[in-house]
Amino acid sequence: MLAKIVFVGAGNLATHLATAFFNQGVEILQVYSYTEENAKLLADKVNAAHTASLQNVRTDADIYIYAIKDAFLDQVQVQINAPQAWHLHTAGSVPMNVFKETKLKYGVFYPLQTFSKTKQVDFSKIPICLEASCSEGLEILKELATRISADVREVSSAQREKLHLAAVFTCNFVNRMYAIAHDVVSEHGLSFDILLPLIDETAAKVHTLIPRDAQTGPAMRYDENVINKHLAMLNDDSYKQLYQLISENIYKSQ
């Protein structure tokens, strides 16, 4: 199968995903984005046509991949009329059935990863969670996914929303902890890079230990002496509140 793909969306995920397909020789027919500039930027990277008009989205592709904000998915997909094709969204928290009323063949292609514009990722290690409206579709999706990743899994809508929730904790919330630490060290003339070996080791530990067993630090033993010193050092009230709440949560979880 050499599927022809239209990308609906040109944000971080669309860019990384389209580029990964393009690098594996998969043909990207066209890129649509609400913003012409973004559509062209990605289209040029993957040797595709581009459009900023939903009316001009080509109808002869085999696969339409929607990588747009959740809130826009429904209103955009109903305007794309390609009944013979597969329609796949890439969202963690949107059920597959969003396509049920308007499409014949549909599914989900959810790469469980965080994407930023300027940071390259190795797609081959990214778990791709697939779901399809029929078993034939699942095979097509698997074939497509294995072109770019060695970790392809079948995941239901119910499981996927749990994974997305877990991803918010392990990625978005973790990154916020890094950002607070960045504030703390910057404020005192220290370089954030001194924390990188600790950040890496903290991530590495949960490859071999379950997180509960990897827990260390003053909150575990509720060391009030250290905790109170730390609270006194935090100028921002929301940081104080977070520090206290997470510390209590660690202590009580044991």
Site for its own copies in 40-79 (CB under 8 A): 69-71
Cα dist. 132→7, 15, 105, 154, 157 in Å?
18, 23, 8, 9, 10
Residue corresponding to tokens 């230990």? 209
Q: Which of 36, 142, 185, 222 binds its own copies (CB under 8 A)?
A: 185
Return d(Cα 234, Cα 219) in angstroms, integer: 16
H and E: helices and strands count for the chain: 10, 8
**Region of 48-56, 78-86, 102-110, 227-235 interacting with its own copies (CB under 8 A):** 227-235
Considering beta carbons, is residue 104 or 163 the nearer one to its own copies? 163
User: What are the structure tokens assigned to 155, written together?
Assistant: 């995941």
Among 82, 100, 103, smallest CA distance to 32 is for 82
Q: Which of 24, 35, 60, 178 binds its own copies (CB under 8 A)?
A: 178
Selected from 54, 199, 222, 240, the binder of its own copies by CB under 8 A is 199
Residue 237 near its own copies by CB under 8 A: no
253 binds its own copies (CB under 8 A): yes
Tokens of residue 136, six digits = 């034939």
Interface residue with its own copies, options 1, 78, 134, 196 (CB under 8 A): 196
CA atoms within 13 A of residue 10's CA, in its CB half-sphere: 23
Residues 77-136 that bind its own copies (CB under 8 A): 93, 112-116, 118-119, 121, 125-127
Q: Which CB sits closer to its own copies, 101 or 122? A: 122
By the rule CB under 8 A, 137 interacts with its own copies? no
